[in-house]
Structure 1
Amino acid sequence: MREYGLDPAELIGTSLFDLIHPEDRERARHRVDDRRTGERSTRSFELRLVFADNKSMPFEWNESDTTRPLVQIDAEGVYSSDRPSSADFLYTQGVARNISARQAEESSLEDMRREMTRRMGAHAMQIRAAYRQLQVQLEERERHEAETETIQRIRDEIWRMVEPEQVDEVLRAIGGSLRDLGVNFHGISINHVDESTGQVGFYSFEDDRGGWSVSEDAGENLRVMEFMKAGVPAYRPDLHIDDPWGELELIEAGWGPPIRSVIDVPFESGTFAINSREADAFPEREQALLSRMTGLLQEGFHRVRDLQALRERSREAERLAAERQDALRKEVVLSRARDQILSMHSLRDGPQHRDMMAALRDLGVPVDGLSVQFPASTPGHYDTYYTSDFPVPAESLPLDDYPWVRQVWETGRSVVVGPEQLRDSAFEDWETYCLVEAPLPGGGSLGVSRQDGGTFTDDMIQTVESFAGVVAAGFQRLRDFGRLEESEERYRHMLENLPLAVVYSLLDGTILYSNPMARTMYGYTEEEWKGVTGEQLYVNPQDRAELMRTVQGQQHTEFGYAMRHKSGREIWVRGLLTLVANPATGRQEIHGFTEDVTERKEMEAQNALLEEQLRQSQKMEAVGQLTAGIAHNFNNMLQGISGNLQLAILDAEGEMGHRLADADRVTHRAADMIRQLMVFARQGIKPAIRSVQLRPIVQNTIEICRRTFDRKIAIETDLEEEIHVVGDPGLLQQVLLNILINSRDAVYDGGTESPLIRLRAEIVHVSGEEASDHLDATEGPHVEVQIRDNGIGMDSETQRHIFEPFFTTKPVDRGTGLGLATV
């Protein structure tokens, strides 16, 4: 009490209430009375005391706390009996403590609580704002992914286009994608301008229906072309308010009212247009998406244009090749006909007449009768030699009865004679309905007739004219034997300069004649050629024996064999052999016309290989695209399944936990298969191509195999120390592992007592000729990796399919068919 300016001794005998603040005395008196009467046991209460300096101080009055008394007051409050009552009340005593410091602390704590509440509220607001921002970002990301998927879907459809009119599936893809993205549109169209005609083709899409049409409206065409030339989107947000092109009536007539907003996005060869029944339906974000789609359309029409140009070039190349082939065939046929004509003993030689008609048919000319006309010794007449199925003796006919013969001789040009003219001539009884008369070089003419009711085309006339030249050479020789030597010289000159190898020989192989092309083809000089026999030129002697038997039975035959060059290499030749009886010697001769087709044959083989590789590549690409799409969707499903299984495992116990864990492991195995599919489809991976050492990759792969394969399988390696390759280490290891696993299965299935797998890697040099046999191969150093095993092997049918996706000879639970396909 002295601490508060009071003397304890002076307090004795004074009233306690004198020390209590006047405002708290009534309350204190009430509490003391309660205690005195025993009606209530007041344990503690707060009041203010007044000290010597008249300052008040808050105190707590606690009757039961005597362990740390600050002020001991001798006061009534003690009872004379165990039962508290006013009759037994003796005095009150208690302890008073100063609580000002506590009140200050409580006030400070209250202030801290309010500040904490304020800060927590502000932090909660920040969290809510961050959550809203995260939601916006998530929605933006989902929309971006959806737009990206949409663009890829549209690109896939565009790359299937081969004609502009095939844009319907592209529009369906665009329409479906725009609806999935929530774009509010009514109809879409692609307006394509034909560069050659200037016409605008429209393909429209509305409610999964579409159609192609060509616009006849000049104003509409002009509007589309101006939009295209402007190069920027033309957006009309509300045609009911502003219709700058006066197009509302036309658009609503085509799409049905009301149409409020329209946008045309241009590309190089047209515009991409979309409309809506709502005003201002295409804000900046939708406009940006439409621009991206339009870029894909431009890419698609570029591709279509390139494909059309490629097809045109291909058709032109095929046409030229067909023409060259036809020209060569005609040359061979003409050469054969020339030989047949020259082998005739007289103009009445029936077999040769029929051979000439057969030659004309081979050249594409329908022929039922053939005649040769020469000026006769009698003025105004001509000598004719003709045949249909049999030779007819020569006779002299008046030119006036056959005016077309005179016309051909006078003009030197071919004439086609129709049925009307023939009915008035001597040919009426022969029922010849059409005839072409062609001039012969040196005089005379060749007549070719047909009785099937048809006429002769320009190509047929040209062929007859060419054939007339051949006929003229033979018939002139027979008619004027005195000019035989000159004729033979001309013939020899032709053979000497013919781009074909010509060889005349006897049946025993003795060569009688050869032109320079023949000696060049086989690599001999003229002097060396003198000691060569026909038998020496064949790689396989049996080929010559078979050819001799054929030509003796058929008089003439075409052939194609491997022949021997002087250097020893094989060359492929194709040609025609004819058995000719030489009237001068009485011996039979073999007249051969051949050409070197080695390069062509190699090119055909190479083209066949490249075509097969291309077909395989296209098939793999198509299957890869399908596989990638399926793998992507299944991977998404498996992620959801696996995530939920892992969450369920955390809460599961006992047998259920084990079952869920087994299910999760199966899900992971399925995910591994999906990754194989993605590797096969070349999707979802970006190869890290770089220069790497092959030896560590092989050794690491072998170590994996030795740890996982059956210990009975021996694995041997033969590796060079320094082998640098360019590739992705992970993919290289995957390829090696796939092949080694295939070898493991082969030695398992083979039941070999000592299963063995050998791997060898070495540097080899690939020549240009070897590189040409493989697609994308180049000349130079390569690394050759050989993996051999002593397993069961595979037959030729299996070998043709080993790189096809999903092809496997293993049971269902052991193979997916993707291992070697991935390689």
Structure 2
Amino acid sequence: MSDTPPTSSQQEMDDRRQQLTPFIDLLALLPIPTTLIDSEGIIWDVNQAFLDYARRYFHEVHREGRVGRHVADFCTQPGVRERLIQFLDELRSTGEPTRAVMQVFDHGFREEIFGIPLKRGDGRIIGAALLREDVLAAMLQERMRAVITSIRGEVFKMARSQDIEQVLAAIHKGLGELGVSFHACGMSIIDADIDPPQMRCCNITHDGRWMEATTQPESVAALLHFWRGKETVYRRDLHSEDNFGEDEILHDAFSKPIRSIVDVPFSHGTLAVNSTEPDAFSDADIEILEGMAEVLSAGFVRLDDFQKLEQRTRELELEIAERQRREIHHQARTRVRDAVWQMQSVDEIIQLLDALKAALEIAGISYLSCSINIVDVSSDDPSVRFYNLGEDEWQEDESGGSRDTILKIWRGGQIFYRRDLKMEDPYRERDIFDELYDSGVRSLIDIPFSQGTLAINSAEPDAFSAADIEFLQELASVLEEGVRRLDDIRRLQDQERQLLQSQKMEVVGRLAGGVAHDFNNMLTAILGASEQLLQDCTPEDRPELELVLNAGQKAAYLTHQLLAFSRQQVLRPKLLDLNEIIGNQAKMVRRLIGEDIQLTTPSDPQLSKVEVDPGQIEQVVLNLIVNARDAMPRGGRLTVSTRNLDLDHSHDSVPPGSYVLLSVTDTGEGMDR
């Protein structure tokens, strides 16, 4: 059974055909892949089992392409042809069934061939049946397991689904070990959670060259179609049929015509191989790709599960940390709130030293200096008092070079964070801080509240995190609550004083009213008798009687005032000069308010007349003066002034027109206006 072309005569060929025909008929019945050759090694027939075997593991083979050719013509691996010729010679020389293991096809696998010599009746060998035992399935499974293990290992090493380089390298190597011939293999990772879906494609050519593919809209649409279809898509020859418009795109990408391509979808994309040959991939090749895709799906899903678990773990850790942070902040706020609620006035804010310092330590906020800046707008020229908490002690400063800055921030009502004064210094504060601190201030934040700002600084740039700022806001809110509480206390105290004063005035009024009634009755008799005596008196007695009458009239006027004070007089509005009323009241109350209060009564000499009840307006002025006196226990300045005033439509509370304004101001405690 040499490998030389047959030189047999036609008669000999006819004889062989006649002799081999029974074996040809028998060959079709064998379930084992079998090739029938004559004594010269020429193939006379192959059975269907052989064709199925070749198509499954290698590529599609046709009977016409085999019959008439020498069996060794299909051995392309170095040394395999010689080994097959040797096997045939051994089979012919021994005349006994012979077994050999060799690589017959160009696929990288060793096959086990069992040769059975075919003899005539006289014992002469007329040919042989070459049976291939289907051991490739077991061999492929063994290699497939090793390849799958390698791919799975690389998938498990991935930190995220986009890290596909090592996975694709393992696939490239595995396809070579499993005998799959290809021009390039690739993976497309699809992120369909965003709109439009994003895709990353990587390829490795058969010679190991990496290609990061640029996905064109046509390619993206096709790959999305394959992936969503969840079925393998095999384009056997793009030159014959190009349903997805890939021929030109692939030619441009690989700089050569791509004839056949397979895409196998998995959970996160597709696995693909292509070839420059048409119909290049067998059923076994596709099974290998589908097996790899299953591993990719399992691995990527596992990666997603791990990432979700890690994400959930991180979320739980953050949730726990957030709860701990809130609890710590709550403890710190409570300390400051307790200290604030013990304050009786804003002047006691320095007592917050220990509480604020402890709160910052509990919250883990490092600082160079922290200050509470209290704004006082009671005068025309607002002032700021700075209560500075340094690393060791408090300092109180009235002047402060940052007064204007604090007022701007406070009036703006917004948090102002200077992250790095070296990079940005809008209020020119850096020089001021350089004089105060040897290390200098790099970052600074002011948080406004109702009565001022809470400020903190650091020698480090951008030293305060969002959590730090949130906590400082909470502390500022606590300070604001405390200041509001103090305002409520002051208002309550004012109301108590007013109620007490009202009750006092009511008692005095009742007493004055009773005295006035009795005194008025006596004055009635005195005035009546005086007037009657004046009618009949001598010229010598008239001066004394007029003196008595004038004194009685003055006493009646005082009685009139007492009745007005006690609200027992009937209202009689009339036009009068308010300046005159204030002048008379000022004379009467000077002894009432005391010597430590300076009373001034600036007035408009052109003041218009007003229509009021004299007693009532006198009572109003008296009440305002008494209230002002009570607000200045240590003395001060009291001003009662008048002026004409024209109001337009912008004052909704009163109709437009001309009015007289009566103003009473003092320098004592209480409401600003």
State the TM-score bracket (shorter-chain normalisation).
0.3 to 0.5
Q: Which has the higher contact order (CA 8 A, sep 6+)?
A: 2
Q: TM-score, normalised by structure 1?
A: 0.37
TM-score by length of 2: 0.44
